[in-house]
Amino acid sequence: MSKLVDLITNTWTLAVLCVVLALAAGFVETGTVQMWSFVAINILLAQSINLLTGITGQISLGHAGFFAIGAYASALLMKGAGLPLPVSVVVAAAISAGAGYLLSIPAGRVREFYLAMMSLAFGLIVYELAREWRGLTGGVMGVRGVPSAQIGTLSLFGWVLDSAWYFRILLLSLIGTMIAFRNFVKSHYGRAFYAVHVSEIAAGTLGVSQAATKRAAYALSGGIAGLAGGFYAHLVGYLTPESFGLMRSVEILVMSIVGGLGSLTGQVLGAIVFTYLPQRLQAFSDYQFMAYGLILIFVFTLLPNGLAGLLKTRTRYSKFDQLGGIGNASPAVALTQRHSDKAASHGPLIRVEQVTMEFSGLRALSGVSLDLQPSCITALVGPNGSGKSTLVNVISGLYKPTSGRILFKGKDIGGQPSHRIAAAGITRTFQDPRNVPSFTVRENILMGANRLYVHGPLAAALNTPHAKAEEREMLGRVEALMATAGLTHHAEDIIGDLPYGIQRLAEVARALASDPELLLLDEPAAGLSEHEAERLVQLIRMAADHGVAVLVIDHHMDFLARLVNDVVVFEAGEVIYRGDMDGMRSNQAVIEAYLGKEEVSHA
């Protein structure tokens, strides 16, 4: 089965298929070519909602709104202003992208079912506008007489386009869009979208701004749907609001979910199935909405990963395959060697000064001061609720400290947003691993390197030599990290299927892939086997050897004993001890903090 899929999705097979279709368009009936055009438009729509809902995780129940904006814009621009086809569809796509950008401002602030409700409302607003703004849209009567290939009124620079040529132009645009889209999705941008999907908090700690990422996703998704709308307008020749109601939005959603959210191949399959099914199956057409309803109810139960999951094809979110591997990687490229010449350094890497953190009157940290030096591994221990994780959250920008300063390389970073702090070189992990479960180990670790990329979205979409070189360099880092972590043989495994310990190791490797200067680890050894803990120790030591300052929260004292240079003990939001492990074990205050006061005095 998978061999068959490989054969079909092979670049050459697809290229031959496209050429055959383009040629055949001139010899088959007009109705057939029309159908092919509809398939192409539906593929664009499915990819568009896939980007927003499948990849970025922002559910859209009003996608027909973007489709409508594109269709009306292109129709009116050509009919009213006489713009030629390429200009009118591109401008229509741009207008629709603008609508997406605007929608992202309110939509970016809500999530879950609030977002679902808002997107539903967006679709209905556009639909109502199309019905009521008679001066522009012609109201319920719609826009008639749009130049169209079907009735031979569409011309391009004086050359009348028939259905076959229109299909060829559409096919070419589709191929171009798909290739650029695929390159884009497989770049660090695609991974950033997915990071926002899985955990907005974790995305921030990768240096990804969730607000900016969502705006980009909405604009891009709106643009692709608008492009589909523009081509639709000149395919059918007339527009009425009824083509853009709730049912169209549902249809787009059904295509994408049945195809398989997150999979590029799946979208093509979904679009083909739901273009032909109503045509071929009269019964399906009669009961179309009942069928769509049933599909939506049961699809996640029966076909959780869609047709793509059924065929066991998955979209890869790195260019590893495209680049044909990464060549030779030596461990030296894993991390930048930072000189930790302590004599020459100007004070500590990070200095926490009198930081206090209060939550509605409850004091989690009270006047904590702490210095961390490059190349030094420090343990942070203390009983439950003593404020250890709170300190890490304050440093990494998830909480804004109530008072006090945090100086990173002499600059106060207290209260800055987490993606800014991550971009400055402070990387953290969480108590529960925040990997993307459907990514491979390699893709997950590569996500960590996001902050290091310099190439822009256009370079990513066009796969410029610079973009390729950068991706290859980052993949080299990942390879070296996997070797140290002992994950090389898991590189191509889906991380969600792996044992917990491997997932945790991968998360620490991901944190190191960002080439940090300060690494904050929140209980990295929890749930690790002896062997895995040993790998973890090696990873952390390697970081320290390269000049990274490391702060480790953990409860496993035996694990910490093999790892750290010094220990900080917290009790009730205050530092009660700082020194080495042996000193801690015999320290009265520490023993009291753990075991209680009286027992010690009696003993």
Partner 1 sequence: MDFLIQMIASGLSVGAVYALVGLGLNLTFWTTRVLNFGQGSVLMAGAMITAVLVARGCNVFLAVALSLVVSALILWVIEFVGVRPMLRIRGSMGWVVSTLGAGIFLQGSASWLFGTQAVAFPDVLFKSSDTIELLGAYISVQYIAVFVISVVIVGLMELFLRRSTWGYGVRAVAHDRELAALMGIPVRRVVVGSFLVSGLLAGAAGVLVAQVSGTVDPNFGLHLLILSFVATVVGGMGSAVGSLVGGLTLGVIEKLVGGYVSPAAAEMVAFVLLVAVLTIRPQGLFGKADTVKV
Partner 2 sequence: MLEVRDLNVAYGAVEAIRGLSLVAHPGHITALIGANGAGKSSLMRAISGITRPRAGQILLDGRDITRLEPHQRARLGLAHAMEGRRILHQHTVEENLITAWHFRKAAGSYHAARDAVYAHFPILGERSHAKAGTLSGGQQQMLILSMATLHKPRFVMLDEPSLGLAPIIVSQIFEFIKGYCGEGERVVLVSEQMASLALKVADFGYVLKHGKVVFEGDREHLCAGGLADLSGAYLGGTGAH
Q: Which residues bind partner 1 (CB under 8 A)?
A: 53, 57, 59, 61, 105-106, 109-110, 112-114, 116-118, 120-122, 124-125, 128, 131-132, 201, 246-247, 250, 253, 257, 286-301, 389, 393, 398, 430
- Please state, in angstroms and rounded to a whole number, the distance separating the CA atoms of residues 410 and 431: 29
Cβ(335)–Cβ(518) below 8 Å? no
Q: How many residues bind partner 2 (CB under 8 A)?
A: 30
Where are any strands of DSSP class E within 430-527?
A: 518-522
CB of 62 to partner 1, least distance (A): 10
- Please state, in angstroms and rounded to a whole number, the distance separating the CA atoms of residues 228 and 386: 56
The mark string for 111-140 relative to partner 2 (x by CB under 8 A, - otherwise) is ------------------------------
CB of 386 to partner 2, least distance (A): 10
Q: Answer with the entry of partner 2, partner 1, none that 106 interacts with (C-beta below 5 to 8 A by kind).
A: partner 1
Could you give phi then psi for residue 576, rounded to 5 degrees? -110, -10
Q: Answer with the entry of partner 2, partner 1, none that 398 interacts with (C-beta below 5 to 8 A by kind).
A: partner 1
Q: Report the DSSP pairing between strands 566-571 and 377-381.
A: parallel
Where are any strands of DSSP class E within 528-601?
A: 549-553, 566-571, 574-579
Helices assigned H by DSSP within 361-440: 388-395, 418-424
Q: Answer with the entry of partner 1, partner 2, none that 15 interacts with (C-beta below 5 to 8 A by kind).
A: none
Burial class (CB in 10 A: 0-12, 13-18, 19+), 336: middle
Cβ(74)–Cβ(129) below 8 Å? no
Find the part of the chain contacting partner 2 (CB under 8 A) among 175-183, 341-349, 511-519, 581-589. 581-589
- 382-421 binders of partner 2 (CB under 8 A): 383-385
Q: Is 143 helix (H, G, I), strand (E, B) or coil?
A: strand
**Location of structure tokens 């939005």:** 249
CB of 557 to partner 2, least distance (A): 3
- Please state the separation of Cα 492 from the chain's center in Å: 19
Cβ(327)–Cβ(506) below 8 Å? no
CB of 592 to partner 2, least distance (A): 9
Q: Which is nearer to partner 1, 160 or 297 (CB)?
A: 297
| The one among 82, 557, 588, 589 contacting partner 2 by CB under 8 A | 557
Q: Answer with the entry of partner 1, partner 2, none that 527 interacts with (C-beta below 5 to 8 A by kind).
A: partner 2
Angle between helices 188-198 and 163-185 (to 10 degrees): 70
CB of 396 to partner 2, least distance (A): 21
Q: Is residue 584 a contact point for partner 2 (CB under 8 A)?
A: yes
How many other β-carbons are positioned within 10 Å of the β-carbon of residue 312? 10
CB of 367 to partner 2, least distance (A): 19
Q: Which is nearer to partner 1, 169 or 202 (CB)?
A: 202
Q: Report the DSSP pairing between strands 426-428 and 518-522.
A: parallel
Helix (H) or strand (E) holding 168: helix 163-185
| The one among 206, 474, 533, 560 contacting partner 2 by CB under 8 A | 560
Q: Which is nearer to partner 1, 292 or 559 (CB)?
A: 292
Find the part of the chain contacting partner 2 (CB under 8 A) among 184-192, 202-210, 220-228, 519-527. 519-527
Q: Answer with the entry of partner 2, partner 1, none that 585 interacts with (C-beta below 5 to 8 A by kind).
A: partner 2
Q: Is residue 553 a contact point for partner 2 (CB under 8 A)?
A: no
- Select from 415, 405, 408, 389 the least CA-distant residue to 354: 405
- Please state, in angstroms and rounded to a whole number, the distance separating the CA atoms of residues 308 and 123: 27
Cβ(267)–Cβ(256) below 8 Å? yes
- Please state, in angstroms and rounded to a whole number, the distance separating the CA atoms of residues 322 and 527: 36
The mark string for 58-87 relative to partner 2 (x by CB under 8 A, - otherwise) is ------------------------------
By CB under 8 A, name the binding residues for partner 2: 383-385, 499-501, 503, 523, 526-527, 555-558, 560-561, 581-582, 584-585, 590-591, 594-600, 603
